[in-house]
Structure 1
Amino acid sequence: EQALYDDALLFYKFLIKSYDPSEIILYGRSLGTGLATELASKVNINQLILETPFYSIEDVAKSRFPIFPVGSLLQYELPSYKYLTKVKCPVTIIHGTSDGVVPYESGLKLAESISITVKFVKIEGGSHNNLISFNRYHETIKACLN
């Protein structure tokens, strides 16, 4: 897990050679939201966009296998909720209500777990891999980039 975080930081260090941190928008999708959130908790960026994020990997695993002790079986934690509390830039979360991979409730729980203002964009009927087909998704991304 630490190696993944280190790789993300290495990429950020490469970016700031050519771009000011105020120009950098960090975007994470699905599993990448954990890495993006951890990186955003340590560096300066313009904003953080998370598509189909999770509260933690354990939270997602528990929703799929509620009777198993999944916490002790997981190799990675990716506790997005811990890192999001340290993020100092605007945060936008986009999640579909019909996500069968990362439950909508996990993304909502993440947004509600912190005191900073998070723009939470609910895409009614959106699943894990089709949010890009919704106008609301495009409107949200466009608003973030302007």
Structure 2
Amino acid sequence: MAMNALTCGEFCCLFCCPPCPASIAKKLAFLPPEPSYTVSTEDNGASYSLHLTDRAEFQYSQKELDCIEVFKARTKGGNKICVMFVRCTGPSRYTLLFSHGNAVDLGQMSSFFIGLGTRLKVNICSYDYSGYGVSEGKPSERNMYHDIDIAYYILRTRYNQNPENVILYGQSIGSVPTVDLASRYEVAAVILHAPLMSGLRVACPDTQRTYCCDSFVNIDKISKIKSPMMVIHGTDDEVIDFSHGLEIYDKAPVTVEPLWVEGAGHNDVELYGAYLERLKKLIDTDLPKLQGIK
């Protein structure tokens, strides 16, 4: 989740007018990059084909690229968004529904998905928020909720994934739709990576309560999540302070061991060996034990 620097005048205008949640969201959260991929239709629109540009910096061969399925689906908000399914392994117990961070799109995330899914032996479903990549519409908090809803519906129906086999993964701004969905549906687990308590609490670290002008209010939904939650956060996060991860973990009703990455910032947690080790332990040991699977 990247944020623009606020001048004193902009800050006063944004938070003292008073603002509406949409204005905070627009200023602090959404920075759609130039699309790194295109999608073409085939078979009279029955199927889609993915084409990556150089901006995607794809690190694998055509063989791996052929394991990526893309298609478009219309959300409750009326936007057609792009959904991606990365088949990293054969039959797998779990599938990650991954809500990515800001300033990236599915094309740029595709190599990461293949590497992560292959190492964890899971498949990964992801989607571009409205206004990102080739998804229609404009990014907004409400649209994010519509976007993840259709992605989850597709995962359940098109790919026949039961809730007990779905792991929700939300990174940075992606923690917002992830928390919202998790507060309404029980799944195998919820992973929040560098999550924020709320938009106002990011901009004004001393904020102790939720105001009507706030947006992305994860902290008020955490108590409704019944699924086991793991929180990942770098202790030196320069965008979303480490205190956000600590507070969210503290408020979660059901947790597994968190991952606090000493010295890591907002965008480099994945480079630490502890990141992959902890995720593997979650999938190979923690969840089977919680679910009574031998």
Normalising by structure 1, report the TM-score.
Answer: 0.87
Q: Which has the higher contact order (CA 8 A, sep 6+)?
A: 1
> Does residue 165 of structure 2 align to residue 27 of structure 1?
no
Cα deviation, residue 21, structure 1: 1.1
Partner of 1:37: 179
Query: How far did residue 120 of structure 1 move?
Result: 2.2
The share of aligned pairs that are identical, in percent, is 30
Q: Verify the 8 A CA contact 2:229 2:252 in the aligned structure 1.
A: no
In 1, are the aligned partners of 2:226 and 2:253 still within 8 Å (CA)?
no
**Max radius of gyration: which structure?**
2
2-structure distance, mates of 1:23, 1:86: 20
Matched residue, 1:84: 222
- Checking the alignment, whether the CA contact within 8 Å between 1:111 and 1:118 is kept in structure 2 is no
Post-superposition offset of 1:34 = 1.2
Deviates more, 1:54-63 or 1:123-132: 54-63
Distance in 1 (alpha carbons) for counterparts of 2:150 and 2:253: 29
In the alignment, the residues of structure 1 paired with residue 186 and residue 260 of structure 2 have an alpha-carbon distance, to the nearest angstrom, of: 27
- How many residue pairs align between the two structures? 139
* Deviates most, 96-105 or 2-11: 2-11
- Unaligned stretches of 5+ in structure 1? none
- Asked if 1 retains the 8 angstrom alpha-carbon contact of 2:196 and 2:240, the reply is yes
For residues 14 and 27 of structure 1, the distance between their equivalents in structure 2, rounded to whole angstroms, comes to 16
| More helix, by proportion | 1
What RMSD over aligned residues (CA atoms) do the two structures have, in Å? 1.9
Structure 2: runs of 5+ lacking an equivalent = 1-140, 285-294
TM-score scaled to structure 2, two decimals?
0.45
- Out of 13-22 and 109-118, give the one that drifted further: 109-118
Q: Deviations over 1:4-37 (max 9, x none)?
A: 1111111101111121111101100000011101
Quick one: distance in 1 between partners of 2:267 and 2:243? 17
